């Protein structure tokens, strides 16, 4: 069982245009609506990969009502524990330019949760871990405005007390504080990791090479130190592939050339593929290969969805994977 938390749920709108230039008037060629936010994206794709999930989510106002209707349309309402809030759930726009195969994303900040609303949701997470004992707790996505940045860190600590494997995919101060509490796994893109790397390096007394090639060599000392503390670390870097420091060794997986329709949400698909395959295999090397293929598969779709396991496996066969430094994590 995988438990997810969506504190900043969104109503996602995908607009398809031939091209986009500021100051002009356009009529979209197509429009798609979906219940979104990173947690719900991961939920959908874990469902499509056949995994049992539940999500605690906040919704409010007419946009919140639309989110609930969209979840019902996709037959996911029974997997969601809904917390009503006073504010309006945010709207996020993804504008896809077909002439250049690029996407522009406009994320609004979302509503501010009252202390009571936030407390009620966090108590819900604690109660769910006590009652249903999920195997994994996934903390992903932005925090609502005004939310204490140590919320994820508090949940990392609580999950460890409950023997629940905690997965964190966040950014900024929320990510930094969560890492300090030693979650089971951190999945982060290279840009977000580099934003917090200087502070992490100072805190851990680790020297980083500012310029190195390939890209993952510069962050290796820091990621190795994080792993030795108890956190599996996965850093994704778009077309430059990904690198991981895990209990099954240190690995680099290549990217794959595909026709991209909408890359937005590919990182969520990567995370869903990683968790799904690890549940099946308990092998990080295989899970990383599958995660890369799942992310690539999502980029071929407009919406937050993936194909079946057979299709993802076909993509995975074209990926290269190498063990970094030709030695396992245990030998470092």
Residues 37-61+117-331, CATH architecture: 3-Layer(aba) Sandwich (3.40)
Angle between helical axes of 38-48 and 266-281 (0-180°, round to 10): 50
Question: Bridge partners of 94?
Answer: 14, 105
Categorize the per-residue pLDDT at 332 as very low, low, confident or very high, splitting at 50, 70 and 90: very low
| Element at 162 (helix H, strand E) | none
Q: pLDDT grade, residue 328 (50/70/90)?
A: very low
- Give 325's pLDDT tier (boundaries 50, 70, 90): low
Among 252, 134, 248, 234, residue whose Cα is nearest residue 185 = 234
pLDDT at 324: 79
Domain chopping of the chain, boundaries:
37-61+117-331
The percentage of the chain sitting over the pLDDT mark of 70, rounded to a whole number, equals: 97
Q: At what angle do helices 190-204 and 215-229 cross, to 10 degrees?
A: 60
- Residue 36, pLDDT > 90, answer yes
Task: Kindly tell me if the per-residue pLDDT of 306 is higher than 80.
Answer: yes
Do the beta carbons of residue 243 and residue 221 sit within 8 Å?
A: no
Q: How far is residue 223's CA from residue 175's CA, in Å, rounded to a whole number?
A: 14
Q: What is the pLDDT of residue 257?
A: 84
Q: Round the average pLDDT of the chain to a whole number and report it.
A: 94
């Amino acid at each position: 069982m995988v438990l997810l938390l969506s504190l900043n749920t969104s109503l996602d709108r995908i607009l398809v245009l031939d091209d986009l230039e500021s100051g002009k008037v356009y009529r979209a060629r197509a429009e798609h609506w979906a219940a979104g936010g990173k947690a719900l994206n991961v939920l959908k794709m874990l469902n499509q990969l056949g995994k049992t999930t539940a999500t605690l989510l906040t919704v409010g106002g007419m946009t919140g009502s639309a989110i609930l209707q969209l979840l019902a349309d996709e037959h996911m309402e029974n997997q969601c524990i809904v917390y009503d809030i006073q504010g309006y759930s945010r709207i996020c726009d993804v504008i896809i330019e077909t002439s250049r195969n690029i996407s522009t994303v406009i994320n609004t900040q979302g509503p501010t949760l009252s202390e009571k609303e936030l407390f009620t949701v966090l108590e819900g997470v604690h109660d769910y871990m006590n009652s249903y004992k999920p195997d994994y707790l996934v903390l992903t996505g932005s925090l609502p405005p005004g939310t204490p940045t140590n919320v994820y860190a508090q949940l990392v600590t609580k999950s460890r007390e409950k023997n629940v494997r905690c997965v964190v995919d966040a950014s900024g101060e929320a990510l930094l504080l969560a890492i300090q509490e030693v979650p089971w796994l951190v999945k982060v893109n290279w840009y977000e990791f580099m934003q917090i790397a200087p502070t992490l390096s100072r805190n851990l007394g680790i020297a980083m090479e500012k310029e190195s090639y390939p890209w993952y060599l510069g962050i290796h000392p820091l990621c190795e130190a994080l792993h030795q503390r108890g956190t599996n670390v996965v850093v994704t870097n778009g077309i430059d592939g990904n690198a991981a420091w895990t209990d099954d060794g240190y690995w680099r997986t290549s990217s794959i050339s595909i026709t991209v329709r909408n890359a937005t949400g590919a990182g969520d698909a990567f995370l869903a593929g990683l968790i799904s395959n690890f549940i099946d295999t308990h092998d990080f090397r295989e899970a990383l290969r599958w995660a890369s293929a799942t992310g690539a598969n999502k980029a071929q779709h407009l919406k937050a969805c993936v194909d079946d396991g057979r299709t993802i496996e076909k993509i995975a066969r074209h990926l290269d994977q190498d063990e970094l430094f030709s030695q396992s994590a245990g030998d470092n």
